[in-house]
C-alpha cells in the first residue's frame, strides 16, 4: 500500500511540477505526517525534491511521465477523444500523427479508414500496421524513449517536405496565455515542424491538460483549428478557451 502510494505521488508531482503536503494528504486519505515521511523517503531516493510545504519534481521528471504510464491516465476519456477525432477524417486524406497517449487512441480509431498516415509516434505506427486500408509512413530521426517518438533535424527536415490534410497534435498544456505547450524543447521543435506541414491542426487533449502552461510553446491558440477534449473539463476553462479556439467536447 505504501509503495503504491509513493509511486502515485511521484507520478503526480512529475506531472504537475509541485504538490503540497496538504494536497497529497487529502488525495490519498492519509495524515500529513504520513505524506511528509513519504516525501522524505522519495527525496532520499532522488525521485523528487523536498521543499517547504510540499515537493517538486526533479529536472529529469518535471512534467515528464513515461508514455506507458500515461496510457492508464484518463484512459476512458482518451478513447472518447480518439473516436471523435477519427470521425473528422475522410477517406483518401493524408493524416499526420503526433506522439502521445491520446493520439494513440486516434490511431486506433482510424484503422478502418482508407487513408495515408505519417506517424512520428512508434506506437501509433505499430497500431496502424495491422490495418489493410491504412498506408503508414514514418520519418527518420532519433527515438526519444520517454515518448516513443522520433525527433531531431532529420525528422524535422522530413516534415518540411510534406503537405498533409490534418495533424492530430498531442500536448501537455492548453492555455489562453501560453498556447499549446510541452515540457521538452526538442519535442516542441518537432511538433512545430508538423504544424507547418498540415493544412489543419487538431489538438487532442484530455481535461487535465486544460489551463496548464508548461515550458515550451508549440503554437498559440490562434493557430489551432480545433481542440478536442472530454466532458471532464471545467466550465470556466472551456469558456476561456472558446474565446480563442473552436472546441469539441466529447
Q: Where are the domains of the chain?
A: 2-56, 68-249
Tell whether the model's pLDDT for residue 61 goes beyond 70.
Answer: no
The stretch 172-200 carries a mean pLDDT of: 93
Give tens-digit pLDDT for 92-151: 999 999 999 999 999 999 999 999 999 999 999 999 999 999 999 999 999 987 788 999
pLDDT at residue 236, rounded to an integer: 93
Give tens-digit pLDDT for 3-57: 778 877 887 787 677 889 999 999 889 999 999 999 999 888 778 889 888 998 7
| Percent of the chain whose pLDDT exceeds 70 | 94
Q: Considering only the top CATH level, what class is 68-249?
A: alpha beta
pLDDT band at 68 (very low <50, low <70, confident <90, very high): low
Vertex 53, ends 51 and 59: CA angle to 5°?
Answer: 35
pLDDT at residue 16, rounded to an integer: 72
Chosen CATH of 2-56 out of 1.10.10.10, 3.40.50.720, 3.40.50.1980, 3.40.50.150: 1.10.10.10
pLDDT at residue 63, rounded to an integer: 43
Amino acid at each position: 500500500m505504501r509503495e503504491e502510494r509513493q509511486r502515485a505521488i511521484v507520478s503526480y508531482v512529475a506531472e504537475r511540477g509541485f504538490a503540497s503536503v496538504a494536497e497529497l494528504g487529502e488525495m490519498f486519505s492519509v495524515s500529513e505526517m504520513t505524506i511528509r515521511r513519504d516525501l522524505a523517503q522519495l527525496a532520499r531516493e532522488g525521485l523528487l525534491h523536498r521543499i517547504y510545504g510540499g515537493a517538486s519534481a526533479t529536472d529529469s521528471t518535471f512534467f515528464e511521465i513515461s508514455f506507458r504510464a500515461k496510457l492508464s491516465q484518463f484512459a476512458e476519456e482518451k478513447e472518447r477523444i480518439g473516436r471523435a477525432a477519427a470521425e473528422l477524417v475522410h477517406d483518401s486524406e493524408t493524416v499526420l500523427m503526433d506522439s502521445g497517449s491520446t493520439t494513440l487512441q486516434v490511431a486506433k480509431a482510424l484503422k478502418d479508414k482508407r487513408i495515408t498516415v505519417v506517424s512520428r509516434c512508434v506506437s501509433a505506427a505499430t497500431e496502424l500496421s495491422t490495418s489493410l486500408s491504412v498506408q503508414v509512413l514514418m520519418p527518420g530521426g532519433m527515438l526519444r524513449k520517454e515518448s516513443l517518438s522520433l525527433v531531431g533535424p532529420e525528422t524535422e527536415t522530413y516534415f518540411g517536405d510534406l503537405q498533409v490534410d490534418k495533424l492530430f497534435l498531442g500536448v501537455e498544456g492548453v492555455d489562453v496565455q501560453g498556447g499549446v505547450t510541452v515540457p521538452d524543447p526538442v519535442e516542441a521543435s518537432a511538433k512545430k515542424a508538423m504544424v507547418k506541414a498540415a493544412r489543419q491542426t487538431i489538438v487532442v487533449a484530455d481535461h487535465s491538460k486544460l489551463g496548464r502552461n508548461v515550458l515550451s510553446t508549440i503554437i498559440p491558440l490562434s493557430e489551432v483549428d480545433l481542440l478536442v477534449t472530454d466532458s471532464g473539463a471545467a466550465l470556466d476553462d472551456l469558456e476561456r478557451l472558446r474565446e480563442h479556439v473552436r472546441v469539441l467536447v466529447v
